[in-house]
Amino acid sequence: MSDGKPLVEMVSINKSFGGVQAVDDVSLEVLPGQVVGLLGHNGAGKSTLIKILAGAYRADSGTIRIDGQEIRIANPNDARAHGIETIYQNLALADNLDAAGNLFLGREKRWLGVFCDRRWMRAETAQICGQINPRFTNLTAPVRNLSGGQRQSIAIARAIYFNAKLLIMDEPTAALGPGETRQVKELIQTLKARGVGVLLISHDIEDVFEVADDLVVMAGGRVVGRRKTHEVTRNEILSLIILGSPGDASPPRAP
């Protein structure tokens, strides 16, 4: 896990909106096959940070490196071209399209340059979605008719299919039931085993503790701490989130 060089490095990233410094000199690394949990209050800057990495926002300053090489991310296509895939909280699915339409949105297989190769896209979708979720069979219905877990499967399939190096997941379990949440956690393990780096944003500390290798806490636009999951207590993380420092918000504990 810690053998290789960092997969993604963000160095001294700054971003402000008007007078508000949303991200303030933040540096963050993810190794191949590492799951990093990004924690913090609303407005702590975690959303802005991942949107910069995903190409939805442009950083005011700072550098981003992938596999040691400095890259420029000006839009979502740049990010995807470098193997950074994002699953947004709302999944960003077009509800009126079917699974294949969503999986390939913006990257459709064409024939004669203008037409959609629907048959090919559906076959590919059946295969990849079948791997992720064997019960996923409803390939022709608009995705609005699908369950939360199936919709999540499409979003994850999109990342796996296009060979993501780093997968950003923004609140992946927010809209899911317990069974589906377990499925997503299994998927994260699968991705990890394939050497994909995962950046996990969540409000739910328990979820993150269960799957993340490292925890990064943000407050007020800055990174206030990075800890190994197995070396840290929930109270320490909570105090980082709430106080912005490892200060003692809890009774002392035996090590």
**Footprint on this chain of another protein (rule: CB under 8 A):** 54-56, 75-77, 80, 86, 88, 90, 92-97, 101-102, 105-108, 110, 114-116, 118, 135, 137-138, 141, 145
> 222 has which bridge partners?
219
Q: Which is nearer to another protein, 84 or 188 (CB)?
A: 84
Q: Which is nearer to another protein, 55 or 225 (CB)?
A: 55
Q: Which is nearer to another protein, 107 or 194 (CB)?
A: 107
Q: How far is the CB of 23 from another protein (least distance, A)?
A: 19
Q: How far is the CB of 143 from another protein (least distance, A)?
A: 9
Q: How far is the CB of 52 from another protein (least distance, A)?
A: 14
Q: Exposure string (b/e) for 124-160, b if CB count within 10 Å is 16 or more?
A: bbeebbeebbeebeebeebbeebeebbbbbbbbbbbb
Q: Which is nearer to another protein, 106 or 179 (CB)?
A: 106
**Rg from Cα positions in the chain:** 19
CB–CB of 238/217 below 8 Å? no
Q: How far is the CB of 92 from another protein (least distance, A)?
A: 4
CB–CB of 30/7 below 8 Å? yes
Q: How far is the CB of 105 from another protein (least distance, A)?
A: 4
Residue 9: its H or E element: strand 8-17
Q: Which is nearer to another protein, 38 or 154 (CB)?
A: 154
Q: Can you tell me the distance from the alpha carbon of 52 to that of 14, in angstroms, rounded to the nearest whole number?
A: 10
